[in-house]
Amino acid sequence: MAEQGHAWSWSADELEDVPRCPVCNAGDSRAVYDTLRDHLEGVPGTWPMRICLSCESLYLSRRPTIASIDKAYSSYYTHGDSQTAYADDNGQSLLWRWSNGYMNARFGATRMPAARSGRWVMPMIPPLRQQLDFFYRHLPHGPGRLLDVGCGNGVFLLRARDAGWKVEGLEPDPAAAAAGRRSGLDIADGTLDGFAPQGLFDAITASHVIEHVHHPRRFLEQIFALLRPGGQVWLATPNAHSLGRQWYGPYWRGLEPPRHMTVLSPKALILLLQRAGFDDVQLLRRGRGSGYILRSSAETARREGMHKMALPPLLVDALASLRASWSEECVVRAYKRS
């Protein structure tokens, strides 16, 4: 049955059953949600989700196939100008000046206006300092060659390029990739399957990508193969154990079926990286940044008739600044051994 204006439905051969956990291949699981719906884009269908009793990840036990998954993105992408988005991530206030001063000192950026005192002020405010570290994806200070997988219109590539990195992007949506190329960025169309760059990378980032792929371990193995020895990978993805998921249940924004096929736990993400060959896997504290996902979750819950107090973002941000596993997102960094 079509929903929210979508004049199509899924045929039987466009869907597949998933009998084992796509993260760790364990067979033991239990049902968590039977009839999840896409509250963001209104893609037709209801989706069953299970939790793996081994790695504690959530996964759709029935999902679109690789050949049909593009149908779930028909109205999903944004193709705004990356230069405009880059300029909008700034301001004139004293807090912005301190923030820019910190990012210039920490990441080698050249952001203006900037107060040099920010390099000392911001570390004294952990939720904000951690948010700024996330903003630059915890890049090392010494720039090199960087690949952003699922880069969209390339706004993060502009940020990293400002910090001295030689940047490249990979994006499956041709319109988003074209928007980035209009800003002078080197962005290839497609996914890691079939991607063959010239040479290896010093850093690879993937923000909210791994939850979209059918084979998350293969995804990380492909990233591993593209990194030089000593290089780092950085990932962000919704946290299956977050307070928001526990509070809002099927209305939590991080579920987003059927585009999010696997919602990883911190334990599972660390396990996946280790099995892909990475060392020194570090779960990082997110700090401030839960507002969007919690507000969106609360709005959906109210619209669907759930009447309960909204979960305060300030509380979640404070907890996430103390313990990484309490964040709405899993943020992780790992290295390819030299």
Q: pTM for the whole thing?
A: 0.95
Distance CA(132)–CA(138), nearest Å, equals 9
Local confidence band at 79 (pLDDT 50, 70, 90 cut-offs): low
SS (H, E, C) 137-196: CCCCCCCCEEEEECCCCCHHHHHHHHCCCEEEEEECCHHHHHHHHCCCCCEEECCCCCCC
> What is the predicted pLDDT for the residue at 141?
83
Distance CA(77)–CA(36), nearest Å, equals 21
Mean pLDDT of the chain: 95
Contact 219, 328 (CB under 8 A): no
- Sign of the four-CA dihedral 211, 208, 168, 184: positive
CA-angle at 80, arms to 79 and 86, nearest 5°? 130
Distance CA(21)–CA(23), nearest Å, equals 5
> What is the predicted pLDDT for the residue at 59?
98
Residues 263-317: tens digit of each pLDDT? 999 999 999 999 999 999 999 999 999 999 999 999 999 999 998 899 999 999 9
> What is the predicted pLDDT for the residue at 76?
63
